[in-house]
Amino acid sequence: MEGDALGVRVLFYQAYTCDYIRHQSILKGLRENDVKVIECIDNRMSPLRYVSSIIKFIRLVDGADVVLANWRVFENLWLLRLLTRKPIVYDAFLSVWQTLCHEKKTVDPSSIFGKLLFRIEKYNLEIADHIICDTYAHMRYFSKTFGIEQKKFTRVLISCEKEIDVQTDECDGNSVPTVFWCGSGIPLQGLDIVYEATKILEGKGFKFRLVIAGDSGIIDEVKDRAETEKVDSIEFLGRIPREDVFRYICSSDICLGGHYSGIEKAKNVIAGKVFEMVACGKPVIVGRSDAISEVFTHGKDIYVVDMADPVALAKGIMHLIDDGEYAFNMGKNGLETFQHNCKPLVNVLPLIEVFRELCEKGN
């Protein structure tokens, strides 16, 4: 039974198609800190989840002191604002406008729809009482792009909610070193860079296991290229359950956390899988960014390479495989960094302070 150590009741609103790591780690952190959480969650694939979640919201919001509007609530934050005067903390985990207009480039930012998306994004940030982001770099992006004061933002990292039986010294009996990558294959992740690095290392005894967590034309394209170009050091596992993702992480020698693309957004965020990988005590290779440097240190608890540079990525992989002790210590240090700074219990403390301040201001 949850306690009420904070003295504040938090309505945890979520209307998304899955229990994403972002949601789950925040929820776990709040519970571990004995925060009273009132769940208002609907994860159904059907668009009816929006209707159902709003009905639940109307029924539950009177019993709460503050609302945490979790990603993604882009489409209906305005409605939550209409339905309550209680403080709303908005998780601006990603910019829908930036994702569609500048990452996936499916919408022209100068088009009517592009301008509408920008206006909705800006309005959401304006009507929220406070905003949380996953990195300071991301906070600066939102503040500068949409004209919102930085004092309205608080950083809450993605984290990892799983309790993992870490076994850093076992590699599943692999006859060759295994380098693991997983993802949905969106442009931001830079799967093409991973593929080019694999080609560079072809014939050197390296084996990549690529776990695809979702459908993507980019993934299909890379798989076709590998077959056409006869790159047989890649094993495509397809979509697998998240529990199996952790099993593959723990049985690999090195993990590729990303992001590796040259997309501007990649510099502002840390991939969720990075936290999963360091939580497993594995050495992780990531792309260089201000966001990464907020949490990790190159050569100590993570290995950093230049983004959009397959040669640098290939060299990083070779370095860690050639120096097993260095890689092992990096994984050990990464786990320590996670435990001290990133685990849910610690990660949500700034958010809890935001709840406290908002409720005191309202009294």
Q: What is the predicted pLDDT for the residue at 206?
A: 66
Do both 147 and 68 map to the same domain?
yes
pTM for this structure?
Answer: 0.91
Do both 222 and 290 map to the same domain?
yes
Domain hosting residue 200, numbered range: 178-342
**b/e sequence 334-352, b meaning 16+ C-beta within 10 Å:** bbebbeeebbbebbbeebb
Do both 232 and 195 map to the same domain?
yes
Name the residue with tokens 């397809």: 238
Provide the token pair at 185. Answer: 């294959």
| Identity of the residue numbered 191 | L
Cα–Cα distance list, 106 to 103, 139, 140 (Å):
8, 24, 24
| CATH assignment at residue 242 | 3.40.50.2000
> Are the CB atoms for 245 and 211 separated by under 8 Å?
yes
Provide the token pair at 101. Answer: 């207009």
Do both 184 and 139 map to the same domain?
no
CB atoms closer than 10 angstroms to residue 362:
12
Do both 90 and 113 map to the same domain?
yes
Do both 140 and 243 map to the same domain?
no
Do both 187 and 334 map to the same domain?
yes
Per-residue pLDDT of the chain (363 residues; tens, 9 = 90+): 344 556 789 999 998 877 788 999 999 999 999 999 999 988 887 778 888 999 999 999 999 999 999 987 898 999 999 999 999 999 999 999 999 999 889 999 999 999 999 999 999 999 999 999 999 999 999 999 999 999 999 999 999 988 776 554 444 445 678 899 988 888 889 999 999 998 888 877 666 665 554 457 788 888 889 889 888 888 888 888 888 889 889 989 999 998 999 888 889 999 999 999 999 999 999 999 999 999 999 999 999 999 999 999 999 999 999 899 999 999 999 999 999 999 999 999 999 999 999 988 865
Q: What is the predicted pLDDT for the residue at 172?
A: 45
Q: What is the predicted pLDDT for the residue at 171?
A: 43
Q: What is the predicted pLDDT for the residue at 91?
A: 96
Do both 358 and 318 map to the same domain?
no
Cis peptide before 298 (omega within 30 of 0): no
- What is the total count of domains within the chain? 2
Do both 334 and 353 map to the same domain?
no
> Are the CB atoms for 281 and 335 separated by under 8 Å?
yes
Sheet holding 234-236, edge to edge: 234-236, 207-212, 178-183, 254-258, 284-287, 303-305
Between β-strands 130-133 and 178-183, what pairing exists: parallel, antiparallel or unpaired?
unpaired
Find, among 158, 159, 138, 224, the residue nearest to 185 by Cα: 224
Do both 73 and 203 map to the same domain?
no
